[in-house]
Amino acid sequence: MLPSLILIINVLLVVLNCALCSFAISLLAIIKALLPHDKISLWMTTLANYIMWLWMTINAWILKFSNNVDWQVSGTEGLSKKSWYLLISNHLSWTDIVVLCCVFKDRIPMPKFFLKQQLIYVPFIGMACWALDMPFMRRYSRAYLLRHPERRGQDLATTRRSCEKFIQQPTTVVNYVEGTRFTTEKHQKSGSCYQHLLAPKSGGIAYTLAAMGEQFDGILDVTVAYPGNRQKPFRDMLMGRMDTIVVDIQHRPLNAELQGDYFEDKQFKRQFRLWLDAIWQQKDQRLQQVHRDFEQQRGK
C-alpha cells in the first residue's frame, strides 16, 4: 500500500478514535458534575480510565497493523498496576505518547498529567481531563508572590488537595522533564550541554514530589529513541515507515534526599538539580549508545 494512502487512513482512524473517546469521557464528566457523590465520582473516574485504556489500545492496534516495528523494550520487570509511580521521560515527538501507551497500558496504573488551570476551560479536553481526575494546578510567579505574600504555598496546597483522590486508586504521574519536544533547532538555541537532550527542568518534578511524593512507590526513568526515524518519527509512524523503537526503563528509588522544600531551601534545590543532571547525563549516554549500536548494525 502506498505510504500516502496509509497516512490518510491512519490520520482518519486516529482522529476518529480521539473524537469518540473524548466525547464519551465528556459525557461521564457531565454526570460526575451533576451528581457530586463520592461513590458516583469514583465510578465515573473508573469508567473514564477504561475509555482512556480503550483509546490507548486502539492507537496500539493502528501502530501495529500499519508498521513493522522492531521493539526493543527493557526494564519492564517488577512493574505493577497496584503501585504508584512518578514517570519521567525525554520527549522527542507526539509519537512518545502512543509508544508509552503501548508499553505501559497493561503494566502500570493509568497515567495522569499535571495540567495548567486554564486548560479546564478548553471544550471537551478540559471536561475529559477533569473526569479522568487529572490535577489542575495554578502556579503563582515569583513577582506575584512578592506582591501577594499571603498567597505563598497556596498553589502547592491546592494541588495536594486535588491529589488526595489518588489515594483511592493506584496512579502514574507523567512528567516530560525537558518541558517541550526535542528538535535540532531548540537544541542549538538552548545551548544544551547534552548531545541528544534538552536541559532538564527540575521545578516540575520537585513540584510533583512536594505535592504527593509520599504516595509514590518509585520513579520510572524512561528513555525513548527512534534510531531509524530520528527526523520525523510521528509522520513516519502514520505513513507505516516506523522502523525501530527503543524504550529503556530504569527503576529509581524515592529516597529521603528527594524530599525537601525546593522553592525555599537553596541547598536542597542545588542538591536536587545535581541529582537530576546526573540522571540526564546517563540518559544522554544511553541515547548515544542506542544510535551507535543501530548504525553499526545497519552497516554490517
Name all domains of the chain by residue range, CATH numbers in brackets.
3-299 (3.40.1130)
Give the predicted TM-score (pTM) of the model.
Answer: 0.86
For 229-271, give the DSSP string: --S-HHHHHHTT---EEEEEEEEE---GGG-S-TTT-HHHHHH
Alpha-carbon dihedral of residues 211, 214, 217, 218, nearest 10 degrees? 60
Is the pLDDT at 251 greater than 90? The verdict is yes
For residue range 188-230, list pLDDT tens digits in order. Answer: 988 889 999 999 988 778 878 877 777 889 999 999 999 999 9
Instruction: Name the 3-class secondary structure at 112.
Output: strand
Candidate ranges 134-143, 229-238, 258-267; pick with highest mean pLDDT: 229-238
For residue range 90-100, list pLDDT tens digits in order. Answer: 999 989 988 99
What's the pLDDT score for residue 258?
A: 85
Pairing of strands 218-225, 111-113: unpaired
Cα separation, 300 vs 297, in Å, equals: 6
Cα separation, 91 vs 197, in Å, equals: 8
**How far separated are the first and last CA of the chain, in Å rounded?**
29
Is the pLDDT at 54 greater than 60? The verdict is yes
Instruction: Name the 3-class secondary structure at 30.
Output: helix
52 or 114: which leads in pLDDT: 52
The answer to whether residues 119 and 136 touch, using CB atoms and an 8 Å cutoff, is yes
Mean pLDDT along residues 50-68:
92
Cα separation, 240 vs 249, in Å, equals: 25
Cα separation, 72 vs 12, in Å, equals: 28
57: its cell numbers: 489500545
What's the pLDDT score for residue 215?
A: 84
Cα separation, 199 vs 218, in Å, equals: 23
What's the pLDDT score for residue 138?
A: 63
Cα separation, 283 vs 277, in Å, equals: 10
Angle at 27 between CA 21 and CA 32, to 5 degrees: 125
What's the pLDDT score for residue 120?
A: 74
Q: Work out the number of other CB atoms within 10 angstroms of the CB of residue 217.
A: 14
Is the pLDDT at 149 greater than 80? The verdict is no
Mean pLDDT along residues 46-59:
92
Task: Cell 505535592: give the residue.
Answer: 211
Instruction: Name the 3-class secondary structure at 85.
Output: strand
Is the pLDDT at 140 greater than 70? The verdict is no
